[in-house]
Amino acid sequence: MRVNVGGEIREVRTLWREGRTVRMIDQRRLPHSFEIASTEHHAETAAAIRDMVLRGAGAIGVAGAYGMAQAAMEAGDLPPEGFEGYMAAAADRLRGTRPTAVNLFHAVDRCLRAAARGPVAERVRGVVAEADAIAEEDLLASTRIGELGGELIGDGCRVLTHCNAGALAFIDLGTALSPIRFAHRRGRGVFVFVDETRPRCQGSKLTAWELRQEGIPHAVIVDGAAGLFMQRGEVDLVIVGADRVAANGDVANKVGTYGTAVLARENGVPFYVAAPGMTFDLGCGTGDEIEIEERGAEEVLGMWGVDDDGSPAWVLVAAEGTPARNPAFDITPARYVTAFITERGILRPPYPESIAGAFGLRGRGGN
């Protein structure tokens, strides 16, 4: 993605691997500071996923794959039985970080399969190669989603998006933001309404930051204003990403997506979900089977920002001792989805048939 750092324009990926070191943009510091975090051990990479140094289905998947590559290199001197035990424990650690986004599970399982063949040295090379392949597939899928989805965005189109499904959520380009980027580069004059996306404000902090870097016109709105802008006829279409898509087309995505989809249907606004094949879970029949992560109450009760000195600061908004619930995701029933924008094409109802036709009979176990 294009990033302005201290007046210098640079092209950077969200995360990448240098030998045993994994480097990533520290998304907790954005938009006020641009910093690169590094992890040297698979346990540190797992902690970075858990603590949301990076987030987004694709980025989590690639980070999980890189964590498995680190584990393989860490265990390279062990006998086969010890190597297998070490890799199984690393897989459990990485899978246990965040339960909803399926890309993580697909990536870890693919690396485990690569770790099961040949002498240990060959297995290490296989896991590292598989992790690098997952990263490149992520980038290719985002590019193709942008090319196909960009054709859905006409001249002067006003797009609403929720959360951050941009370059920061993948290796580069993203899913929901990729069609917007391609439309902008084609001179379509696109404008983006950015839901702030409480409670962590990935929209106002991350999506708005990405759009500003690209020079794409946009405005941040509170989540509750989306319906008003649709009702006024100021939104032409909605594009969101996904953390997991069930075999029937139900979508797990950032909490608030379901309400946005219902509002879009009520107001006759097309609602698109942009997602790569790694996000589809054909082993999951419906959204009822998807585990919804619930995070700490402090994310709801307070806000992070910067103080007058530019230093990070957290402030309590609700009264001290107020109880709160904080589901991180919700489930949008397939009936509200106009189409899926994927690297295999635009998928339309009936979704059980179109999804199976595009991605085969693949379950949670891999790609």
Q: Which H or E run includes 303? A: strand 302-306
The percent of residues in the chain predicted with pLDDT above 90, rounded, is: 92
Residues in a beta bridge with 345:
342
Q: In what order do the strands lie in the sheet with 15-18?
A: 15-18, 21-25, 36-39
Q: What is the mean pLDDT of residues 287-312?
A: 94
The percent of residues in the chain predicted with pLDDT above 70, rounded, is: 98
Residues in the chain: 367
Place of tokens 């210098």: 8
* C-beta separation of 194 from 180 below 8 A: no
Residue 98 is assigned to a ligand binding site: yes
Residue 231 is assigned to a ligand binding site: no
- For the stretch 114-127, pLDDT in tens is 999 899 999 999 99
Residue 57 is assigned to a ligand binding site: yes
Kindly report the average pLDDT of the chain as a whole number.
95
Q: For 56-60, 280-284, 306-310, which range has the lowest pLDDT when averaged over its residues?
A: 306-310
What is the CATH T-level fold of the domain 153-359, as seen in this structure?
Rossmann fold (3.40.50)
Residue 126 is assigned to a ligand binding site: no
Active site residues: 243
Q: What is the mean pLDDT of residues 41-50?
A: 98
- Tell me which amino acid residue 181 is: R
Residue 150 has pLDDT above 80, yes or no: yes
Q: Tokens standing for 104?
A: 């993580």
Q: How confident is the model at residue 362 (pLDDT cuts 50, 70, 90)?
A: very low
What pLDDT does 361 receive?
A: 52
Q: How confident is the model at residue 267 (pLDDT cuts 50, 70, 90)?
A: very high
Asked if domains 2-142 and 153-359 share a fold, the reply is no
Q: What is the mean pLDDT of residues 27-51?
A: 96
Residue 364 has pLDDT above 50, yes or no: no
Candidates 1.10.1200.10, 3.60.110.10, 1.10.10.10, 1.20.120.420; correct CATH number of 2-142? 1.20.120.420
Residue 140, φ and ψ in degrees, nearest 5: -65, -40
Domain ranges of the chain: 2-142, 153-359
SS3 239: strand
Residue 55 is assigned to a ligand binding site: yes
Q: How far apart are CA 21 and CA 5, in angstroms?
A: 22
Q: What is the mean pLDDT of residues 120-149?
A: 97
Residue 212, φ and ψ in degrees, nearest 5: -65, -40
- For the stretch 186-244, pLDDT in tens is 999 999 999 999 999 999 999 999 999 999 999 999 999 999 999 999 999 999 999 99
- Which among 230, 231, 252, 225 has a CA at the least distance from the CA of 241? 252
Q: For residue 351, give Cα distances in angstroms to 88, 238, 246, 248, 253.
A: 34, 19, 10, 6, 17
What pLDDT does 365 receive?
A: 36
Q: How confident is the model at residue 140 (pLDDT cuts 50, 70, 90)?
A: very high
What pLDDT does 239 receive?
A: 98
